[in-house]
Structure 1
Amino acid sequence: MRPLFSTLRRLLPGAVLLAAGLAASPTLAQTADRKTAIGGSISVLQYQGNLGGDFWKLSTPQKVGAGGHISRYLSRSFDLSLLGNYENYRFVAPRQPYPELNAKVGMIDLGLKLKMTGFIPEDFFIQPYLMAGGGAFLASSTGNYNGINPDGSLTPGSVQGFSSSIQAFEVFGLAGLRFRLSPAIALDIQTSQHYPFSDRIDNITTSSGKLHDRFLVQSAGLTIAFGKAKDTDGDGVPDRKDKCPDTPTGVKVDVNGCPLDTDGDGVPDYQDKCPDVKGLAALQGCPDADGDGVADADDKCPNTPAGVRVDATGCPLDSDGDGVADYLDKCPNTPAGVKVDATGCPIDTDGDGVPDYQDKCPDRAGPASNKGCPEIKAEDKKILNEATKYINFDFNKATLKTSSYAKLNQMVQIMNDYPDYSLSIAGHTDSKGADDYNLRLSYERAASARKYMLSKGIPADRIEARGYGETKPIADNKTAAGQALNRRVDFDPYLTGDTNAAEAKYGPAPTIADIKAAGNKLPGKKTTGTGAPRSRKAPLKKAPLKKAPVRKK
């Protein structure tokens, strides 16, 4: 044990001298830049145990010890420290017959320091901290009991001497204040309490097994951080002074670590294509006389009016490629390929407010709500909507009755008046009879109506006919009145090219033209016969209205 204490006494002064030598180098107090620090201190040991104690009794004559530490910066809030302390201690109990303890004590501990710099700046003058940890407690103690037996009992008048050598594990807690005397040196004032896992330092134990011996260390010392200043970008300016710490390698910088900017335009020389002339950052430091965003050296239209949008060459932009520059173009988003007028707007031949490229009827005026086509007049719509009431067939056949011709002729006239429309004819039956028979009959009746209108000169591609059989009733088939309503042929106009009106109303079904084009027969069971129109030369014009008789009063 004595060689160990002799070694500690020799090492501690050397550590202090090493710290003093490092203080002459360009260092800072321990931070993220300087992560390693060493320090030395002088200390006073105080004891509390079976013989009594002198905790916090500074008036008691004390022997001064020495200590040292090495610490490593972990984060803004934590350091890891290795501490060593050596003390030559003497205690005399202040009561007769004055038991005495003499001890040579060494402590070697590893501690985790909690710094308050998590809440205050690292360069603040006063920095409080806490530390806790554990390590080895080494002691060589002698003394006498003078009436206190080794088991703690009293025997007045007895005198017993003792000598013991202790090696035990200990834990400690520490509180300290650090004063930053300069960027290189800090003064630490600390108090720490040590609990060795042994009760034999004063050679007195009790039957309870409780550990009584503990020690208080009061110390003051210097700590010096060392290491190389961090310079992340390697520009010769340390990060703590560098206002531009991410400067690329090899770029010349000023005293603040920022890249040189010869013309003072805010664009550093190494990024400035025009380093001697003030320019714009957006143009890599080059000037732009007309302010169009194209550098003068690349501008094919250097006198473009202010505020005009330009293309990559600096000439006025024509976004839609219609040949009219945007700043003159009243319709700058015209789709590609659309013909425009002098103002850049799409041509509207019929002047209805719907441009030709969107107008389904570019040569006839109509509202935008009807895609630029003329709307069918209300009286004509009424004829079409009510036509189903007037189109009749022979019983159980698809033969048109002559009473139907007048209404069909009216619809032929409407189709001639509105050449932009097509007509959908849909046949329906009631639920009497077999389903497939009814389906065939509905097709045949729709076909008869279509055939009649085609015979009056309406092109075949403007009239579609199909049947739905009994699948789309509009009334109750359980009553005769409902059945009569369900036996019908609907006539619905729609703009040519739009969704077929019958399909929109009742759902898809193959047209008679589709069936014939596929080489198929009409669906369902063959009916009793379609017959033929009784007159293919029914009058096209409406019959003149009769004047109502004048009532006599």
Structure 2
Amino acid sequence: MKNLKIGFVALLLIIGATSINAQDKNNPFSVGFGVNAVDFYPTNPGLMGHGSWFNEFVNVGDHYNAIPAISKVTVGKYLTDGFSIEAAGAINTISNVGDNSVSNTSYIALDGAVKYDLNNVLGETSVFDPYALIGGGYVWMDNFGTGTFNSGLGFNVWFSENLGVNLESKYKHAFESNIVQHFQHSLGLVIKFGGTDTDNDGVYNDEDACPEVFGLIEYNGCPDADNDGVIDSKDDCPNVAGLESLKGCPDTDNDGIADKDDACPNVKGTKANKGCPDTDNDGIIDSKDNCPNQAGPEANSGCPWPDTDGDGVLDKDDACPDVVGIVSNKGCPEVSVKDIAKLEALFKTVYFETNRADFKSETISKLNEAIEIIVKYPTAKFAISGHTDSIGNDQYNMKLSEKRANAVKNYLVSKGVSANNLTAKGFGETQPIESNMYNPGRAANRRVEIKLIN
């Protein structure tokens, strides 16, 4: 049994020596130096010269055993999640066992412990670092030795990131009766070390988001070359100060579009137009809009289509852009009934020389008057027809009527009427309007007519 206890203690010491643990992940190693005091009094109720549990716990003058020298050394290493392992060695001289005085007896202790940082439960503080421990060890007093089960509480108060003062009190329960239960208190300095800072920026690798690149503490060790508050690894424009909302890129015109994506970086615009303005909202940016303040189609370079004649039909749709017309007639005027009647009357006064296609002199003024009416309707289509009486043979009359119809058409065209708006055809004697039996009837049948066909 005794060998088993010694083996248990030895195992703890081996763990402590090979996995020395301390305070935190950045400085995983620690060493401590200080003094220790051993108190047998408040742990042995019923023994002569001893009090009940925790009785006179801090009666330093009567019960504490201490020597005026460095009498305790610790080494440790941080594990994870607030846990660390520590190995401790202590020496002392025992002159008081409870209220009983004894001759000076040497005291040597080797301990191993698992420690837990209570700030993980209480909440992190900057300087105060309380902990609980549990473990075991071995104590020698002169020629006697025993394994112990240890538990206790302590705390560190840090003066700097690496240096602090340690106060600890632990209870040691002895497995053998030749050494009774006791408390061991200690006070000393503790030093943390061993943190790695590859890029020498003052942020340890375990907390450095950019451990290979020199950075700033406020950015967890990452650089911010342009000092815009956005670390370089998240900055799309790392060498030019910009806005966090735009991933570190500048926005000169404050339109919410980063300059690198803004086709018009110096003029406020919209995302839909890649940062360029479109003042009239016609979908054409101002720099390509010939009428930036008037909405218009792209086909007209951003300008509204004109309506030159003001008839409500845009020039692009107006077959008669310079003449007031109506929508139903593609912007062209509709030939009035009055003008049709007048044209028909005028054409009845068109006379030719006998058996010829030459106009009589009085006919020219009548045709000119007809032209004034026709040009008012630039898209109107007219059909000119020539007719004869029945004197002469049919073939001759047909040719003569065609010549006379074309003579009228050619005259109108020569005065500016579009040839596309005129057709000419001869009908000979086939369409009389009076009887060819008498001169008046034959005279009425020798005629040229005009008809509106569109």
TM-score range, shorter chain: 0.3 to 0.5
Higher helix share: 2
Relative to the length of structure 1, the TM-score reads 0.36
Relative to the length of structure 2, the TM-score reads 0.43
